[in-house]
Amino acid sequence: MRNPLFIPVSVLIAVTFACTPQNKERGPQGVTSRRAMVVSAHQLASAAGVSILEKGGNAVDAAVTVEMCLAVCYPNAGNIAGGGFIVMRMYDGTVVSLDYREKAPMRASRDMYLDAGGNVVPGASINGHRACGVPGTVAGLFEAHRKYGRLPWKDLVEPAVRLASEGFPLTEKQAVDLNRSKSRLLKINGRETALAGKGLWHAGDTLVQPDLARTLERIRDLGRDGFYRGETARLIVEEMERGGGLISAADLETYEPVWRVPVTGTYRGYRIISMPPPSSGGVGLLQMLGMVEPFDLGNMGWNSPDAVHVMAEAARRMYADRAAYLGDPEFVEIPVKGLLNRDYLKDRMSGFDMKRAGNSLDIGEGDPAIWESEETTHYSIVDPMGNALAGTTTLNGSYGSGVIVKGGGFLLNNQMDDFSIKPGFPNLYGLVGGEANAIAPGKRMLSSMTPTVVEKEGKLFMVLGSPGGSTIITSVFQVLINVIDHHMSMQQAVEAGRFHHQWLPDTLYYENPALDNMCLRELTERGHHVRRRGAIGRVDAVLVWPDDRLEGGADPRGDDTAIGLE
């Protein structure tokens, strides 16, 4: 079959320029390009992705390089021992998604984080060796490349090898973040590592990771076998044995990513293409969009009390459904069609009162059967052929389990915490769950990652996604609405302040300056329990303008960078 991601070799260098918006309604733009765009959490990863496009690589090639580089230059979430999802829309309109989510090791069991009295052992699913799921990232990227890649695999991994062996300068944010995590990393590993040593990090210090460079060389030279077999697999299994972890050589050797049909739906005529279970992201996003569509959010005004109220009430109802119904589709029957049914969503909002907040104790999950049918990182890529790729990848918590494989130099995830470790017990992100997301050997834990592509009138319109644990879905939801209902440019939509509701706890969180005092007062009067918190989400996105220019939206909450090709 012809590779649909073929792109011409000649690509000119990127130009960033301020330009007059063709679409008068939208505000000032971010970085724009007529050819291609890469937006990721780190300038070096975006630049490496762009250089792959320059060499004739396509969106998948660039994604491999971006993700491998993020494992080096953005170690709190970029990874080779975590997992992720990719949603792609090819230039010809074909849509696919790839699931390389971690799995529970075969020796995992339902109550593995409970003590003899049935109580959750604090931190057991978050810190250390037993928190690790079987990694999926390398297998996923290798599979994406096997099916759609254009340039040789080795050329795509090489930039990450160089970045790890030669080192790179830490940003201010990274130095602060590493210093904050130092004692945890030292305690869990019982030794100094490249990330945590004697002194403190400062902006501009060079982070060199020689063990990681050698692991990446094996991945470069041997492909997936460079991670799941041989030396790297041996190092992982030895690490597990040292720390009482459960991942075995067989778990590694048998890990397989899965191609899945994306979930799709419409919102005000736009087609939304997103990640299906085992992520709750796509279903959750479409549920919320379906619930708010009958309301004129544009006229209500951006983050007005009415708009926030409607959106928060939709989020409250969606997260109640998430807790009850979503999990790994290989293990549980998920009523996706029912959850997305227009009449079901209308019914979910039937008790909605514009003047009164709902009560999460009263609002349980709905009954879709009768209608049947915070640390993570995201990158968005559009290549010169028009192939679009949204990729979200994660170790779960910042620096994952904190376990750095001895001799391998890479962090292992703590994705086991995304399971419901005990019905009703909140995870790292305060999310609760039940039977559908209970631990079982070989099962994938439920995710909130929401890599998403949007079409308008049959053409590519937007590519987006976010990190942020439970806040991922609401962040993507708000950025979409900022563009579609409030006519913002991509950069404006990404920068705009955000809020979050997840059913339980019954709290409407907001970051500054998302909601003004008048709005907060009104929301409180309607019965919302409002609470300020730190940054919500970090959306990296691309918008296609009517004249086909691509606008990158890089989230200023981090060091995120958009780089285009011209």
Binding positions for ligand GLY, rule: CB under 6 A: 376, 394, 396, 418, 447-449, 469
What one-character DSSP code corresponds to residue 114? B
CA–CA distance from 266 to each of 290, 313, 337, 438, 472 (Å)?
Answer: 8, 20, 14, 31, 20
- Minimum CB distance to ligand GLY, residue 506 (Å): 21
Q: Which is nearer to ligand GLY, 394 or 561 (CB)?
A: 394
How far apart (Å, rounded) are the C-alpha atoms in residues 73 and 44? 7
CB neighbour burial string for 343-364, b if at least 16 within 10 angstroms, e if fewer: ebbeebbeebeeeebbebeebe
Q: Which is nearer to ligand GLY, 61 or 418 (CB)?
A: 418
DSSP 46-85: HHHHHHHHHTT--HHHHHHHHHHHHHHH-TTT--SSSEEE
Q: Which is nearer to ligand GLY, 274 or 447 (CB)?
A: 447
Instruction: Judge whether 376 counts as a catalytic residue.
Output: yes
Phi and psi at residue 489, to the nearest 5°: -70, 170
- Minimum CB distance to ligand GLY, residue 133 (Å): 10
How far apart (Å, rounded) are the C-alpha atoms in residues 361 and 245? 37
- Minimum CB distance to ligand GLY, residue 375 (Å): 8
Phi and psi at residue 248, to the nearest 5°: -110, 170
Which helix (H) or strand (E) element contains residue 456?
A: strand 452-456
Structural contact between residues 67 and 140, judged by C-beta atoms closer than 8 angstroms: no
Please work out, in degrees rounded to the nearest 5, the angle formed at the alpha carbon of residue 391 by the alpha carbons of 386 and 393: 165
Q: Which is nearer to ligand GLY, 209 or 392 (CB)?
A: 392
Q: Which is nearer to ligand GLY, 323 or 449 (CB)?
A: 449
Give the residue closest to ligand GLY by C-beta. 447
Q: Which is nearer to ligand GLY, 132 or 544 (CB)?
A: 132
- Helix then strand count (H, E) for the chain reads 17, 19
How far apart (Å, rounded) are the C-alpha atoms in residues 143 and 166? 28
CA diameter of the chain:
66
Residue 362: partners with Cβ closer than 8 Å, 6 or more residues away: none
- Minimum CB distance to ligand GLY, residue 279 (Å): 7
- Minimum CB distance to ligand GLY, residue 427 (Å): 9
Phi and psi at residue 262, to the nearest 5°: -60, 155
Q: Which is nearer to ligand GLY, 193 or 396 (CB)?
A: 396
The one catalytic residue among 32, 65, 137, 376: 376
- Minimum CB distance to ligand GLY, residue 8 (Å): 36
Phi and psi at residue 425, to the nearest 5°: -85, 125
Structural contact between residues 406 and 68, judged by C-beta atoms closer than 8 angstroms: no
Phi and psi at residue 143, to the nearest 5°: -70, -45
- Minimum CB distance to ligand GLY, residue 126 (Å): 11
Q: Which is nearer to ligand GLY, 414 or 491 (CB)?
A: 414
Q: Both tokens of residue 380?
A: 């968005």
- Minimum CB distance to ligand GLY, residue 397 (Å): 8
Between strands 550-553 and 541-544, the pairing is antiparallel
How far apart (Å, rounded) are the C-alpha atoms in residues 152 and 149? 8
* Residue positions annotated with a catalytic role: 376
